[in-house]
């Protein structure tokens, strides 16, 4: 493409990597990605019935059960409850080794089979209590980590604990034994991951019992009760219902027989959404042909403010672009007094001009994940006019995928990203 060659040859394209620290980056990227993307342990046949059987007869079993019971009681303190992810409190009754509570959430048909004196999955339930996460008490679906004393934690809970510790400027500790925990000190426990994936779980739609490793595929593609939308949703049909009713609904759905005039409004709203998205990408393409473009691979490091109540903020080292010095700052949950007390987390950031400009500089800028980071961020352009008297852009939202993504960044040692700046022609 012409545009690209022109950009690199004739135009000012600034790139300084000195402000990033590439030597530390791979370790961070490696550890976070291993925590979040993992091979499905489902296909492994290693945890057969005999393996799990011998596990239960180990002497450590009873003490693990005691630990789990202790952790459950410690969870009732308000501070530890506040630090839990929202969804975990509702999940905590599902599989915690307590037969009675487990039975209560089972469909009636299941209950009668599992409560008999020789119930076949008694062992499975006991194992569920042993292999569950020490924080959310649920059986982990993904990576399982353990503290140096062997207490288990799912990936999401570990990330949440590390993020809370970052916000409070404390050292993260194991909720069971209070030993110090960092991402590096916690090791994966592959045996638990594999064993947990072999244990039965329930489909959230039909309640059918399946090996946990097969539940995702069942719920997404096979379950007859899974939530579906009408095939004519684009024509404005609001119907949603179980998959087995879809055929009969679509047979009688009035929307395909409506006139063009009647469905026009729903088509127009679809058009509006598409146009909105297209406008963003069009403007990015337009800016790419500007004369002055700068991009920078940066790293946010955590600092504390010097206020009486010290607050967490992030700042990059200085970098130069358009013959000026800049930094990018970020903060957690703008207006919240204590972000560690809320489950919803977000980051916002500002661009700060560190040198005094002789003439005003109008800049469009956006943040991307860049080559050293793995943040899931949507492209969103912001604009600010820097002048001699206004050197700081307002704080604007970093459009992350969700709150869990924000916690992932907070739990990491540093946050890597790429900043692209377009200077508007005068
Ligand atoms: Zn957990
Ligand atoms: Zn521990
Ligand atoms: Zn199902
Ligand atoms: Zn319909």
- In contact, 386 and 360? CB cutoff 8 Å: yes
Report the domain count for the chain. Answer: 2
Domain contains 377: yes
In the prediction, which pLDDT does 174 show? 94
Band of residue 335 on the pLDDT scale cut at 50, 70, 90: low
Lookup: tokens for 202: 């329930």
Q: Looking at 198, 213, 228, which one is the last position of a domain?
A: 213
Please write the tens of the pLDDT for every residue from 387-405: 999 999 999 999 999 999 9
For residue 253, give the ligand nearest its CA: 4
Residues across the chain: 426
Q: Are residues 312 and 384 in the same domain?
A: yes
CATH number, position 304: 2.60.210
For residue 214, give the ligand nearest its CA: 3
In the prediction, which pLDDT does 25 show? 35
Q: Are residues 145 and 102 in the same domain?
A: yes
Please give the distance, rounded to the nearest whole angstrom, from the Cα atom of residue 351 to the centre of ligand 1.
36
- How far apart CA 32 and CA 108 sit, in angstroms, is 41
Q: Are residues 298 and 413 in the same domain?
A: yes
Instruction: Quote the Cα angle for 159-181-143, to 5°.
Output: 45
Lookup: tokens for 113: 């089979």
Domain contains 27: no
Please give the distance, rounded to the nearest whole angstrom, from the Cα atom of residue 216 to the centre of ligand 4.
26
In sequence order, which residues have a C-beta less than 8 Å from that of residue 87 and are 6 or more positions away?
Answer: none
The answer, yes or no, to whether residue 224 has pLDDT greater than 60, is yes
Indicate yes or no: pTM above 0.85. Answer: no
Q: How many Cβ atoms sit within 10 Å of the Cβ of residue 390?
A: 12
Q: Looking at 160, 193, 213, which one is the last position of a domain?
A: 213
Query: In the structure, how many helices (H) and strands (E) does the chain have?
Result: 15, 17
In the prediction, which pLDDT does 119 show? 54
Q: Looking at 213, 239, 268, which one is the last position of a domain?
A: 213
The answer, yes or no, to whether residue 122 has pLDDT greater than 60, is yes
- In contact, 361 and 321? CB cutoff 8 Å: no
Please give the distance, rounded to the nearest whole angstrom, from the Cα atom of residue 145 to the centre of ligand 1.
10
Comparing 115 with 128, which gets the higher pLDDT?
A: 128
Q: What is the extent of the structural domain holding 407? A: 11-21+290-423
For residue 64, give the ligand nearest its CA: 2
CATH number, position 184: 3.30.40.10
In sequence order, which residues have a C-beta less than 8 Å from that of residue 288 and are 6 or more positions away?
Answer: 3, 7, 422
Q: Are residues 59 and 106 in the same domain?
A: yes
């Amino acid at each position: 493409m012409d545009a690209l060659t022109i950009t690199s040859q004739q135009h000012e394209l600034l790139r300084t990597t000195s402000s990033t620290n590439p030597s530390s980056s791979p370790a961070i990227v490696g550890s976070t990605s291993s925590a979040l993307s993992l091979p499905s342990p489902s296909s492994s046949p290693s945890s057969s019935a005999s393996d799990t059987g011998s596990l239960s007869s180990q002497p450590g079993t009873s003490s693990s059960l005691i630990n789990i019971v202790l952790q459950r009681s410690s969870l009732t303190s308000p501070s530890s409850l506040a630090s839990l992810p929202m969804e975990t409190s509702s999940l905590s009754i599902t599989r915690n080794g307590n037969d009675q509570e487990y039975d209560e959430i089972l469909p009636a048909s299941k209950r009668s089979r599992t409560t008999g004196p020789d119930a076949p999955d008694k062992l499975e339930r006991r194992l569920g209590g042993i292999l569950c996460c020490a924080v959310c008490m649920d059986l982990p679906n993904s990576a399982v980590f353990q503290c140096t004393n062997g207490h288990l934690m799912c990936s999401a809970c570990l990330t949440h604990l590390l993020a809370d510790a970052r916000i409070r400027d404390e050292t993260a500790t194991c909720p069971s034994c209070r030993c110090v925990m960092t991402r590096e000190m916690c090791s994966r426990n592959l045996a638990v991951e594999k064993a947990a994936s072999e244990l039965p779980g329930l489909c959230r739609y039909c309640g059918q019992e399946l090996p946990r490793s097969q539940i995702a595929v069942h719920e997404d593609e096979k379950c007859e009760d899974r939530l579906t939308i009408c095939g004519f949703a684009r024509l404005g049909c609001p119907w949603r219902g179980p998959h087995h009713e879809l055929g009969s609904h679509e047979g009688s759905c009035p929307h395909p027989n409506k006139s063009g005039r009647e469905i026009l409004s729903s088509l127009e709203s679809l058009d509006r959404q598409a146009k909105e998205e297209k406008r963003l990408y069009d403007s990015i393409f337009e800016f790419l042909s500007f004369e002055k473009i700068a991009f920078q691979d940066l790293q946010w490091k955590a600092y504390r403010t010097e206020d009486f109540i010290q607050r967490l903020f992030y700042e990059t080292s200085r970098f130069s672009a358009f013959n000026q010095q800049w930094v990018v700052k970020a903060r957690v949950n703008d207006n919240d007094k204590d972000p560690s007390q809320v489950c919803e987390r977000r980051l916002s950031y500002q661009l700060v001009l560190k040198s005094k400009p002789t003439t005003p500089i109008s800049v469009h800028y956006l943040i991307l994940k860049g080559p050293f980071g793995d943040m899931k961020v949507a492209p969103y352009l912001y604009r600010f006019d820097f002048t001699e008297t206004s050197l700081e852009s307002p704080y604007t939202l970093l459009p992350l995928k969700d709150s869990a993504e924000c916690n992932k960044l907070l739990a990491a040692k540093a946050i890597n990203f790429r900043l692209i700046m377009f200077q508007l022609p005068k």
